[in-house]
Amino acid sequence: MSLREKILSDLKAAMKEGDAAKRDVLRLLDSAIKNSEIEKKKREEGLSEEEVLEVLSRAMKQRQDSVTQFEKGSRPDLAEKEKQEMAIISVYLPEQLSQEEVEKAVREIVAKMGEISAADFGKVMGQAMGQLKGKADGNAVSKAVKAELGKIK
């Protein structure tokens, strides 16, 4: 079963169970996937699993940004709602790597690249994001790359 099919199946189940919160989030995800299909002109064949994961990651990132903004704005009720939506979305995303695992992967990438300097941030980030796409947050990868390149003199 593809990720899109799983979302639709879970949407039907949430509708039958009367779970309004889950139903609403899954409808938003389905709508975001459809919009992405239209943007990429893939309405007939649909998105690949990787493209669906990109849509889900984007939705998760939007929720994380909203939580930050709501907490800054002293709106814990809205921040909590966004956190609940994040919990629902996270079910469909692959397990995220810990910061230590990201740092280890970045060290390995830097070692493979050989002779690099602190100015090669873009090259290392490109390699790291290519390898860790969907498995780690871009901010965590960026932090690990900066730390690793900071050790190079």
CATH topology of domain 3-90: Hypothetical Protein Yqey; Chain: A; domain1 (1.10.1510)
Q: What is the rounded distance in angstroms from the CA atom of residue 10 to the CA atom of residue 35?
A: 20
pLDDT digits (tens, 9 = 90+) for 120-132: 888 888 888 888 8
With CA atoms as reference, report the closest residue to 25 among 99, 85, 70: 85
Measure CA 39 to chain center: 19
- What is the pTM assigned to this prediction? 0.75
pLDDT digits (tens, 9 = 90+) for 71-120: 999 999 999 999 999 999 999 988 888 888 888 888 888 888 877 777 78
- Once rounded to an integer, what is the mean pLDDT over residues 36-50? 82
Domain map (residue ranges) of the chain: 3-90, 99-150
CATH classification code of 99-150: 1.10.10.410
Fold equal for 3-90 and 99-150: no
Q: What is the rounded distance in angstroms from the CA atom of residue 133 to the CA atom of residue 15?
A: 32
Q: What is the rounded distance in angstroms from the CA atom of residue 120 to the CA atom of residue 50?
A: 27
